Every structure is written in structure tokens, then in C-alpha cells.
């Protein structure tokens, strides 16, 4: 059997044909064109699925942003798809492709992808965070995805790490997402220009508007004072949150994905040190903090892994 994974994003969607051991055999990426309405999106996603299908692909896994009902296969609503309310996505796609379709929230799909194909392989207790435009996360505990009563649980990006800190998209102040996401970093860099315009960050970026997480970490690696100051704030917020997850879930591994995770030592070395400052001594040495090995393909592999999770590998 081969797997088909659909990473449904607000800007683009990707469909991948994936081997059972998590190798991407073929991949299609297209613009989502949300403005054309949901029927058009569903039609074009279905077409891409059929283009990659053969007799060895009876199942499709879809990772979708927003609030989903995984049992009924419904996207209840999603900030990325303004006209989608209670869309029966699995039924619609199944009707057009003849496949059995499974749906999961994209952040939860990310942790499943790590469990089946990535840094979570062989582990039963996993916390995974994706640092991107927002911060998504998922938890596997005793081998099972933690979803909560309504299935919307493990919003790891919305724990408060700076009381009265920056406003978050969710309406609360000081969430992890408001400090350590790529969006938050861009905001800090725009705000810092007036006082720190001589920083290397802005030389690397060209203009303050273009300055992003990559410029920040590149400048921090070269010892730029302003970049190190922002880096430390991002790391401190992450460390407080991760220390909390470690205390609550007692994971074997904490996996960090998303574009920011490619920063390497300039992020991970201080992060590991700072987490130790925030955890109880009895937790020291019980976990690892590692970058996601899947990164670019995490969306497709996460979606494909939903199939493994639901049909039992």
C-alpha cells in the first residue's frame, strides 16, 4: 500500500504520494485560491489526488488548519478559509475520488508525522511544536494523540509566557505565539528599527520590512547585539513553555519544526540550557529537544501518517 497525504494550506496545498515508510515518491503543489470558493478548492484538491492515485492508494489523509471534527470528517471553521463552515470535507473528497478519506488538524497531523516517520519514531510520549506564521503543536501520550473533550486540545502555542506581553491573534496577551512565531519575530524587527537601525539584521534584510527570522538568526550567529537580544526573548519564551510541557506530559522527546527550526545551534544551544533553568531537577535528563527532521515535507508526511494512525499502521 502507498499513502496519499494532503497538506491543505491557506495559500498553497500540497498532495504527496508517500511510501509506507515515509518516503515522498511524488508531489504536487498548487495555489489554494481560497477566493474561488470552497467547491473549487475541493474540486482541485480531488483532481491532484487522482493524478497521484493508483490501485495501491485506497486511503487519503488530510491535514487542515482550523477546528475540525475528526470523527465526522468536518472542518468546522478555519481562519484560513473564511467561507468554510461545517464543511464535510472527507465526504466531498471521497465522492470525487472514490477513496476513504481521513481528516486531522494540521498541528496534530504534524506530531503524528513525527511519530510515524520522524524524530518521534519509537517513542510513545512526544510533544511537537511548529514555529511558523503561528505556533501549532500536538501531544502524543502513551502512544495516542491527545485531543481533549471537543477534539480541539493541545493548543501549545497559546500558553501565556509573558504576562501583559504582546497581543496574540487569539485575543490574549503574551502567548508563546505572540513572541516566538515567525510573525512575532518580524514584528519585533520592524519595531526595533528606529532604535537599532545599525543592526546587522537590517543590512542582511535590505529594508526593515523585509527583515525576518532568517536574518535575525544569521545576525545573531555573527554576534549582533540587537539580534541576540531578540533571540534571547524568543528562546526564553520557548523555554518557559517547553518546561511547562515537560512538567505536564513527561515526554521522551520535544520536537521543534517549522522554518525557524532550521536556525540550528544559535537557537537550540541556548534553548536547551534555558529549559534546564525552568524545570524541576527531577526532570533533568528525562527528555531530548530536537529539530524536526521532516521540515519541508512535514505537512504531507503528517497528513499521510493520519492514515497509519487510523488504520493501525
Contact residues for Zn ion (CB under 5 A)? 158, 168, 170, 172, 175
In whole angstroms, the minimum distance from the beta carbon of 287 to Zn ion comes to 24
101 backbone dihedrals φ, ψ, rounded to 5°: -120, 135
- Of 173 and 272, the one with the shorter C-beta distance to Zn ion is 173
In whole angstroms, the minimum distance from the beta carbon of 209 to Zn ion comes to 24
- Of 48 and 175, the one with the shorter C-beta distance to Zn ion is 175
In whole angstroms, the minimum distance from the beta carbon of 168 to Zn ion comes to 3
- Of 16 and 134, the one with the shorter C-beta distance to Zn ion is 134
* SS3 at position 62: strand
* SS3 at position 103: strand
- 71 Cβ contact partners less than 8 Å away, ≥ 6 residues apart: 151
C-alpha span between 25 and 77 (Å, rounded): 31
What are the DSSP E strand ranges found in the chain? 3-8, 12-18, 24-31, 59-64, 67-69, 74-78, 81-87, 100-105, 126-131, 135-141, 144-145, 253-257, 288-291
Asked whether 289 and 272 are in contact (CB, 8 A), the reply is yes
Q: Which residues of 125-136 are buried (b: 16+ CB within 10 A; e: fewer)?
A: bbbbbbbbbbbb
User: How many helices (H) and strands (E) are present in the chain, helices listed first?
Assistant: 10, 13
In whole angstroms, the minimum distance from the beta carbon of 141 to Zn ion comes to 23
In whole angstroms, the minimum distance from the beta carbon of 160 to Zn ion comes to 8
C-alpha span between 182 and 186 (Å, rounded): 6
C-alpha span between 60 and 305 (Å, rounded): 10
- Of 137 and 270, the one with the shorter C-beta distance to Zn ion is 137
- Of 101 and 237, the one with the shorter C-beta distance to Zn ion is 237
- Of 158 and 308, the one with the shorter C-beta distance to Zn ion is 158
- Of 159 and 200, the one with the shorter C-beta distance to Zn ion is 159
In whole angstroms, the minimum distance from the beta carbon of 183 to Zn ion comes to 12
**Strand pairing class (144-145; 135-141):** antiparallel
C-alpha span between 11 and 178 (Å, rounded): 21
In whole angstroms, the minimum distance from the beta carbon of 155 to Zn ion comes to 8
- Of 156 and 256, the one with the shorter C-beta distance to Zn ion is 156
In whole angstroms, the minimum distance from the beta carbon of 131 to Zn ion comes to 14
In whole angstroms, the minimum distance from the beta carbon of 56 to Zn ion comes to 42
Residue 18 bridge partners (DSSP): 3, 24
- Of 175 and 189, the one with the shorter C-beta distance to Zn ion is 175
CB atoms within 10 A of CB 247: 13
C-alpha span between 200 and 171 (Å, rounded): 33
Amino acid at each position: 500500500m502507498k499513502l496519499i497525504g494532503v497538506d491543505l494550506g491557506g495559500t498553497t496545498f500540497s498532495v504527496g504520494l508517500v511510501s509506507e515508510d515515509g518516503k515522498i515518491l511524488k508531489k504536487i503543489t498548487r495555489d489554494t485560491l481560497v477566493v474561488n470558493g470552497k467547491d473549487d478548492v475541493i474540486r482541485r484538491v480531488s483532481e491532484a489526488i487522482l493524478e497521484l492515485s493508483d490501485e495501491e492508494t485506497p486511503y487519503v489523509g488530510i491535514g487542515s488548519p482550523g477546528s475540525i471534527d475528526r470523527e465526522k470528517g468536518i472542518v468546522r471553521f478555519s481562519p484560513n478559509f473564511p467561507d468554510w463552515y461545517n464543511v464535510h470535507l472527507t465526504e466531498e473528497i471521497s465522492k470525487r475520488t472514490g477513496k476513504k478519506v481521513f481528516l486531522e488538524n494540521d498541528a496534530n497531523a504534524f506530531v503524528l508525522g513525527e511519530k510515524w516517520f520522524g524524530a518521534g519514531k519509537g517513542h510513545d510520549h512526544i510533544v511537537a511544536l511548529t514555529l511558523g506564521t503561528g505556533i501549532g503543536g500536538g501531544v502524543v501520550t502513551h502512544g495516542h494523540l491527545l485531543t481533549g473533550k471537543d477534539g480541539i486540545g493541545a493548543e501549545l502555542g497559546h500558553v501565556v509566557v509573558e504576562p501583559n506581553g504582546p497581543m496574540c491573534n487569539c485575543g490574549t496577551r503574551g502567548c508563546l505565539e505572540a513572541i516566538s512565531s515567525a510573525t512575532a519575530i518580524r514584528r519585533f524587527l520592524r519595531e526595533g528599527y528606529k532604535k537599532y537601525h545599525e543592526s546587522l539584521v537590517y543590512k542582511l534584510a535590505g529594508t526593515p520590512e523585509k527583515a525576518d527570522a532568517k536574518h535575525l538568526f544569521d545576525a545573531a550567529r555573527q554576534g549582533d547585539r540587537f539580534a541576540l537580544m531578540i533571540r534571547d526573548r524568543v528562546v526564553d519564551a520557548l523555554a518557559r513553555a517547553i518546561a511547562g510541557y515537560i512538567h505536564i506530559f513527561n515526554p521522551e522527546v520535544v520536537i521543534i519544526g517549522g522554518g525557524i527550526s532550521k536556525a540550528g545551534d544559535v537557537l537550540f544551544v541556548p534553548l536547551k540550557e534555558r529549559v534546564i533553568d525552568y524545570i524541576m531537577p527531577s526532570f533533568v535528563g528525562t527528555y531530548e529537544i530536537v529539530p524536526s527532521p521532516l521540515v519541508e515535507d512535514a505537512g504531507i508526511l503528517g497528513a499521510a501518517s493520519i492514515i497509519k494512525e487510523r488504520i493501525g499502521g
